[in-house]
Chains A and B, each alone.
Chain A
Amino acid sequence: MGLNGMNKVMSNKFYIAFYIAPALLLLLILVFIPLVLSGYYGLMDWDGIGEKTFIGLENYINGIQDKLFWNSAFHSFLLAIFSTLSLVIYLTVSFILASKIKGADLLRKIYLIPMLLSSVAIAQLWVKIYNPSNGILNVFLMSIGVENPPLWLANPSIVLFAIFVPILWQYAGFYILIYYAALKNIPESLIEAARIDGASAFQIATRIKLPLIKEVVSVTIVLAIVGSLKYFDLIYVMTAGGPNGASEVMASYMYKLAFANYNFGYGSAIGFLLLVITLIVTFVIRKLTATKDKLEY
């Protein structure tokens, strides 16, 4: 059999269907159809069990005017900003780690451990850490003489910051891993050349290394922002959006509407808005961070 026969075999429709169908059908039925349905259910007045009543765009209009929804969206965006800013810390640590440090491999693996744990376990652990009287944080604060340490998760003005710390803890290893790998990819000859030209360590880091890993940095910005917009597990377990909505985010608000209030129609509309916002933000951030001049080295 020659190459012609080969092409015939490799373009046989039965084989193509056999190999692509399981994955494609699962993707269409369980990922894409639900997204379309979410938009459609958003047009209904529906408690999840009874009859659906078509009410047009009412849910979407209510959603756009819903102060609680925008409040939760604001919190999601705040977390996105915190996450993006924390990339600077991760980047700094990675620069140090990649500067010929002994034991760098072991250290980055230690940093990664929290990333492997479930958000539920992390949330439960940090609820204990923040426990007002017996948590390790307040025990420490009281031992150094702070008389009334904060009620971290019960104080509406600090709860979001308190929630961000475990997020920082969870993802540190992930971003450091990515930056470290990118920095290790930079050819040693480039750095050596700069050093011979008299560049300082700081100049080498900011003027040579940073521009060379620009694309990786823009990928992580997208990951940090889009990831933040989808946060749910950790917050749901730690505070369930409380106290009084002070830590509510978009996904937890949608979840509450549907699975606590049985407002499936409105919940679907909010879920659909979450999808639209995520896609728009992803698109905009990708455009903004796209590196025009692709660096070759």
Chain B
Amino acid sequence: MGRIGYFLLYLALIVVALFQILPLVWLFLFSLKDNNEIFAGSPFALPSEFRWENYEKVWNGGIGTYFFNSIWITVLAIILTVLFASMAAFALTRLKWKMSGLVLGLFMVGLMIPIHSALIPLYSMFLSVNLIDNPISIVITYTAYNLPITLMILLGFYYTLPHEIEEAAVIDGCSIHRMFFRIILPMTTPILATTVVINMIYNWNEFVFVNTFISSEKYKTLTVGIQNFIGQYMTDWGAIGATLVISVLPIIIAFIFFSNKVVEGISSSAVKG
């Protein structure tokens, strides 16, 4: 491959990178401008004056509530999903029982389910137990629907753990619970981090369950909240831009610090489908 060929290939890659990144640069720039500047000025010009008040306005306008709801719902669902999936991975790979193959099969089928097919029955089930407009319904739904993918990612790691570990533990008179919580679970930390990252992205970005099950403003998460919010600021582009930037910022920050884990998590989620 000659120098020119190499240069052209490189150029193609840069063009793709620009296509991926420019819309976000534009978003960030207009989140700091007012309408006059957005509509009359050049799209990629720096703001003449950084209007951070756009951020202040939407944060005080109520987006803070959505933000904190997204955080606690995301975190709680991650803890439950990772704990339950780890316990299930332990039961499926270490404990000996006849039905384990069938149960594993159920989880694998669970990977393929389109959530929309379950939406109406879930709604009526939650309605009948008074969990509509209650964030508990969101937390347990996130947990249930992320279990299959989380379990699949964990299983690969559990299969590679040597059996000598639990043999030694049992011979030393260690109880099963102690073996799992004190020995095996800590050993899986690297893969747990991967599943945490992938669950964080899924939960933070989820829309349809919250949109269907939650109606009170005080329980809405960012994805649904920004919908109303943007309707309210229909013509104020700066405010809309600030809202969108706030909603994507935590994920971008997580990506900057844990990009390798994110890459690993997203690659291993490819088994989904």
Q: A-side interface residues toward B, CB under 8 Å? A: 1, 3, 5-7, 9-13, 15-16, 18-20, 22-24, 26-35, 37-38, 41, 48, 93, 96-97, 99, 101, 107-121, 124-126, 128-129, 133-134, 136, 139-140, 169, 172-174, 177-178, 181, 201, 219-220, 222-223, 226-227, 229-230, 232-233, 236-237, 250-251, 254-255, 258-259, 264, 267-268, 271-272, 274-275, 278-279, 282
Highest count of chain A CB atoms <10 Å: which of B166, B205, B226: B205
**Chain B residues with a Cβ closer than 8 Å to the other chain, count:** 93
CB pair A34 B176 closer than 8 Å: no
CA distance A97 to B273 in the complex (A): 25
Do A30 and B91 contact each other (CB < 8 Å), given the known contacts A20-B103, A136-B26? Answer: no
CA distance A101 to B272 in the complex (A): 30
CB pair A96 B13 closer than 8 Å: yes
CB pair B17 A6 closer than 8 Å: no
CB pair B12 A93 closer than 8 Å: yes
CB pair B21 A229 closer than 8 Å: no
Q: Which of B39, B106, B240, B252 contacts A113 (CB 8 A)?
A: B252
Q: B-side interface residues toward A, CB under 8 Å? A: 1, 9-10, 12-13, 16-17, 19-21, 23-24, 26-27, 30, 38-39, 43, 83-85, 87-88, 90-92, 94-97, 103, 106-107, 110, 112-125, 140-141, 143-145, 147-148, 151, 166-167, 170-171, 173, 176, 180, 201, 204-208, 212, 222-224, 226-227, 230, 237, 240-241, 244, 247-248, 251-252, 255, 259, 262-263, 266-267, 270, 272-273
CB pair A251 B114 closer than 8 Å: yes
Starting from the known contacts A113-B24, A254-B119, 18 additional A-B residue pairs (CB-CB under 8 Å) come to A5-B170, A7-B96, A10-B94, A26-B144, A38-B117, A110-B21, A112-B266, A120-B227, A121-B223, A124-B244, A128-B27, A129-B23, A201-B1, A223-B273, A232-B116, A237-B207, A258-B120, A278-B112
CA distance A275 to B14 in the complex (A): 40
Q: Which of A101, A116, A237, A251 contacts B10 (CB 8 A)?
A: A101
CB pair B262 A20 closer than 8 Å: no
Chain B residue numbers with a CB within 8 Å of A112 are 255, 262-263, 266
Highest count of chain B CB atoms <10 Å: which of A114, A121, A237: A121
Query: Main SS of chain A's interface residues?
Result: helix
Of all chain A residues, the one with the shortest Cβ separation from B223 is: A120
Do A109 and B95 contact each other (CB < 8 Å), given the known contacts A48-B124, A232-B116? Answer: no
Q: Which of B88, B267, B270 contacts A23 (CB 8 A)?
A: B88
Chain B residue numbers with a CB within 8 Å of A117 are 205, 248, 251
14 A-B pairs whose Cβ atoms sit less than 8 Å apart in the complex = A9-B176, A10-B176, A19-B180, A22-B87, A31-B113, A99-B1, A113-B20, A120-B223, A121-B248, A169-B23, A230-B115, A255-B119, A268-B120, A275-B117
Q: Which of A41, A108, A119 contacts B120 (CB 8 A)?
A: A41
Do A268 and B270 contact each other (CB < 8 Å), given the known contacts A11-B95, A27-B144? Answer: no
CA distance A236 to B240 in the complex (A): 18
Chain A residue numbers with a CB within 8 Å of B12 are 93, 96
Do A219 and B270 contact each other (CB < 8 Å), given the known contacts A20-B88, A23-B147, A23-B151? Answer: yes
Q: Which of A7, A96, A254 contacts B116 (CB 8 A)?
A: A254
